[in-house]
Structure 1
Amino acid sequence: MKRETLFLKSVIYLMALFVLGLCIVALPLVSSAITAPHWNLKLMYAATSIGLYASAAAFYVALWQGLLLLSYIDNDSAFSELSIHALRKIKVSAAVMSGLYFLGLPMSYLAAQEQDAPGIIVICCLFVVAASTIAVFAAVLQKLLTHAIALKRENDLTV
């Protein structure tokens, strides 16, 4: 089991490095490109930047909770309350990301209108759907894990 979790941990670290690179290089360029046609609206630039960095922070919270969940699996304590709390935090982080991306859709509409590229809106909608899907999946896993822990406790009492 350690080999599989080692692979997943390395994937999480690579994702973290990739998003860090995006935060340092790409996000300032994207937020300035979105708000460049509206140079007089500095508040829009600030809101776009804050939204993108806040979603990155929520992403890092979810990654950290994923690492904790993998360490619980390594320590044979996957069926514990700690795993439920980690899944709950992943669910909340994904929901926050989805909400932030949804709030950013008007900005993507303005960018699509200015650059005459309707694909921008589709890509931004895909981000909303992906984050929502992760939140729902984490909620389902949390509920399943809660039921599995309850069944395990009941089974331990009968033996």
Structure 2
Amino acid sequence: MKRGTTIFLKTAVFLIRVSVLALCVFLLPWLANYTVEMFPELAYLQYPVLIGLYVTAIPLFIALYQAVRLLNYIDNNDAFSESSVKSLKLIKYCAITISILYVIGTIFLMSQNALHPGIALIGIILIFASAVISVFAGVLQKLLRNALDIKLENELTV
């Protein structure tokens, strides 16, 4: 694989990290305050929603870090290693965690009669995207595990 491809992917991961960090630091608190000004009857939901969004950012940053590690393994021609399998496993678990947290958040907002259809749509998209990433990482993990087993078997027979 050419090094330019992994540099492009590392740049994309970096831009995602910076964007999510800026969103968490600047946009989310402003948006929460704006929403409370517009809908004062929902003020009691401001902090639980913010905490929920910040908690979902933690597994996202872990998954992005693991993606960079995986790209470094690919750059170092060490893609078929136990470390790559571990990185994919952590990415899978982070994606599952994000999906679960968004499902819990959606149920919580529904129970409070505060779930706007637009927010519900965004939540469903995030749940679906995280589930797809989880399944894809799981498939790659199994594929890589099988390749490692074949590689180990070939090394033992030679």
Q: Please state which band the TM-score falls in when normalised by the shorter chain.
A: 0.7 to 0.9
Q: Counterparts of 1:36 and 1:142 in 2: how far apart (Å)?
A: 47
Shift in Å at residue 63 of structure 1?
0.5
Q: Which residue matches 2:55?
A: 54
Q: Counterparts of 1:61 and 1:155 in 2: how far apart (Å)?
A: 34
Consecutive unaligned residues of structure 1, counting only runs of 5 or more, are 113-117
- Per-residue CA deviations over 1:110-130 (Å, capped at 9, x if unaligned) read 141xxxxx2321221111111
Q: Which residue matches 2:145?
A: 146
Q: Counterparts of 1:6 and 1:150 in 2: how far apart (Å)?
A: 29
User: Which has the larger displacement, 1-10 or 30-39?
Assistant: 30-39
Q: Counterparts of 1:127 and 1:156 in 2: how far apart (Å)?
A: 43
Q: Which residue matches 1:126?
A: 125
Supply the AA of the counterpart residue of 2:147.
A
Shift in Å at residue 31 of structure 1?
4.0
Supply the AA of the counterpart residue of 1:150.
D
The runs of 4+ residues in structure 1 deviating greater than 6 Å are none
Supply the AA of the counterpart residue of 2:118.
G
Where 2:114 maps in the other structure, the secondary structure is helix
Q: Which residue matches 2:24?
A: 23
Structure 1's 9 and 102: CA in aligned 2 closer, same or farther, altered over 3 A?
same
- Per-residue CA deviations over 1:80-132 (Å, capped at 9, x if unaligned) read 000011011111111111111111113276141xxxxx232122111111111
Supply the AA of the counterpart residue of 2:66.
Q
TM-score normalised per structure 2: 0.87
Q: Counterparts of 2:102 and 2:30 in 1: how far apart (Å)?
A: 17
Identity between Structure 1 and Structure 2 (%): 40
Supply the AA of the counterpart residue of 1:156.
E
Q: Which residue matches 1:73?
A: 74
Supply the AA of the counterpart residue of 2:91.
I
Q: Counterparts of 1:26 and 1:131 in 2: how far apart (Å)?
A: 22
**Structure 2 residue 114 is matched with structure 1 residue 110:** yes
Structure 1's 111 and 30: CA in aligned 2 closer, same or farther, altered over 3 A?
farther
Q: Counterparts of 2:72 and 2:10 in 1: how far apart (Å)?
A: 9
TM-score normalised per structure 1: 0.87
Q: Counterparts of 2:152 and 2:41 in 1: how far apart (Å)?
A: 60
